[in-house]
Amino acid sequence: MSTVVALDIGSSAIAGVELKVGRDRVSLSKASVEPISSGLVHDGEILQPDELSDELKRFWKHAKFSGKKVRLGVANQRVVVRVIDLPVMDDDADRAAAVEFEAGEHIPIPPDQSVVDFQPIMRYQGEEGERERLVVVAAHREMVDQLVSVVKRAGLQPVGIDLEAFALLRALQAPPMVLDEGSVDTPAQAVVHVGAEVTHVIVSVDRNCHFTRMIGFGGEQLTRSIEERVKLPHDEAEAMKVACGLLGPGVQGWDKSTVDEVRHALALGARPLVREVARSLDYYRSQPFSRGIQRITLSGGSSLCTGLDRYLQQGVGIKVDVGDPLGQLDAGDVPSELSARIAVAVGLSLDTPGGAS
């Protein structure tokens, strides 16, 4: 049995998980989420590397994870994702060279300043023969090097870096059935992951990412909406966001008028999220390779806000379910407050069919 540890370094907290991976099962052995000082990370960009390294040291000491090897995720505006089509190439070297050439045409980052990877998602018969569709990911090399440096300075050893969107698909969507994989009739699925500052909108087919976009909206905006309308301190507004939600019975200790005001603030605050998710899905539908979207999975800390799933469903007209990032694991009894915040870290740990490499 092997051990895999993954970290999700966000703007408001660090989340980490440790999985035990056996031949027939994957189990969650440890999970931890700890807040970090504000201003260290913003929209996925590291602003204060030395201070973040210190936070990582403290987090690791408190969580007591095994070893020093970690898997990491990246997601910010300096990561570019594109879908490209190429003639089918069975030689890996030829395919890699073709992707590198095409990346120069599609990705606005100079080749000597980028780290490029790709993921084949399907083959199809085109007018000029068999073609292959790939998702190409490019990140600024400086950004990746800085992340690695911060983690190493904390005494840890990075052993893998992946796009957070890919990790979320692994955590929240079950692997496709072998018999159905690759079918042209398979509908698309979407994930809307609401983080503290940004939201990921991801569309996939057979758990392969076909489209992803980051929206500059997060759970903090919902909290601030309550602060401003109900005049509550930040910590109380954050607690009411979850305890009250957009609908449901009254909250013990709070009068009805206050609860109504909180819910009104959340409804107003969530409008930009619904609007941008709808706009993102409309853009995906305009692509020649798009498919009908069957359902949306809502995740992230704000998925704990009761009724946000139904509010989003009403706004975009697609069925929305709240995701369970532990559904594929032997996890035992994990509080929902913790489970909702470790989806990215879980997915980073599940980066091969067996759960570990």
Among 180-184, 206-210, 241-245, which is the least confidently predicted range? Answer: 180-184
Q: What is the pLDDT of residue 331?
A: 87
Q: What is the pLDDT of residue 277?
A: 98
Please give the class, per CATH, of domain 79-139: alpha beta
Q: What is the pLDDT of residue 102?
A: 86
Phi, psi values for residue 119, rounded to 5°: -140, 115
The closest alpha carbon to 186, from 163, 212, 204, 164, belongs to 204
Residue 140 has pLDDT above 70, yes or no: yes
pTM for the predicted model, two decimal places? 0.92
Q: Where in the chain is the domain with CATH 3.30.420.40?
A: 180-324
Mean pLDDT of the chain: 91
Domain 180-324 has CATH 3.30.420.40: yes
What's the token pair of residue 37? 């000082």
Give pLDDT tens digits for 153-168. Answer: 999 999 999 999 999 9
Residue 352 has pLDDT above 60, yes or no: no
Give pLDDT tens digits for 171-197. Answer: 999 888 754 555 778 899 999 999 999
Q: Where in the chain is the domain with CATH 3.30.1490.300?
A: 79-139
The CA-atom distances, in angstroms, between 330 and each of 22, 66, 259 are: 11, 18, 37
DSSP 277-300: HHHHHHHHHTSTT---EEEEEEES
Residue 46 has pLDDT above 50, yes or no: yes
What's the token pair of residue 329? 């694991």
Q: What is the pLDDT of residue 255?
A: 87
* C-alpha span between 278 and 137 (Å, rounded): 24
Q: What is the pLDDT of residue 357?
A: 35
Q: Band of the pLDDT at 29, cuts 50, 70, 90?
A: very high
